[in-house]
Amino acid sequence: MSSWGTSSSCFGQETKSPSSPPSAEGSAPEPAEKDMNDAEEKPRDTVKFTTEKLSVDEASQLVASPCCGAISLFVGTTRNNFEGRKVISLEYEAYIPMAENEVRRICRDLRQRWPVRHVAVLHRLGLVPVSEASVVIAVSSAHRAASLEAVSYAINALKARVPIWKKEMYEESSSSWKRNKECFWAATE
């Protein structure tokens, strides 16, 4: 007869586990305290606007959790062309207090729609050369469907709602501020 106890999981669901771990002769049982601390890990949202180069590894580490089997990432990079013109870099500006508040609202929206654990939204400001990341969004969840859907929603909501402006710098020494067609206030002008 085996003895089974109950313990809580990362998402508040109850799971069954042995009440005492099996031990080999001559070895002491491992303490379960670390596992319990992992199970009690609080959901976390990280919002960062920076002029520094973005790290996909950092974003992934910010959302990693022993409770999660999925981390989904979106990485938006500067491409080298737009409408037949050669782009050499992008320049981003944002009204940071408003942008941070809106990104936090998006994080709350994600939590209301999907059972996600941690969310990280990193956005670069200033000049972003070709092939470098301008935005990295990472979401962790127990299963892939929630994190994949949430990360897709997050980038679409960011483009539609967050006050960030983008200027394309072209090879022929010209530039153009780009209107975000997805932004909610663009339709009213």
Q: In the block, which residue shows the tokens 């520094």?
A: 52
Q: Is 48 annotated as a binding residue?
A: no
Would you say 120 and 136 are in contact if contact means Cβ atoms under 8 Å apart? Answer: yes
Q: Is 144 annotated as a binding residue?
A: yes
CA 103 to chain centre: 11
Amino acid, single-letter form, for residue 7: S
Which of 19-43 are b and which e, b meaning 16 or more Cβ less than 10 Å from the residue's Cβ? eeeeeeeeeeeeeeeeeeeebeeeb
Dihedral, CA of residue 99, residue 183, residue 130 and residue 175, to nearest 10: -100
Q: Is 168 annotated as a binding residue?
A: yes
Q: Assign 3-state DSSP to the chain and report helix, strand, coil percentages, each to 5.
A: 30, 35, 35
Q: Is 118 annotated as a binding residue?
A: no
Q: Is 34 annotated as a binding residue?
A: no
Q: Enumerate the known binding-site residues.
A: 143-144, 159, 166-168
Q: Enumerate the known binding-site residues for substrate.
A: 143-144, 159, 166-168
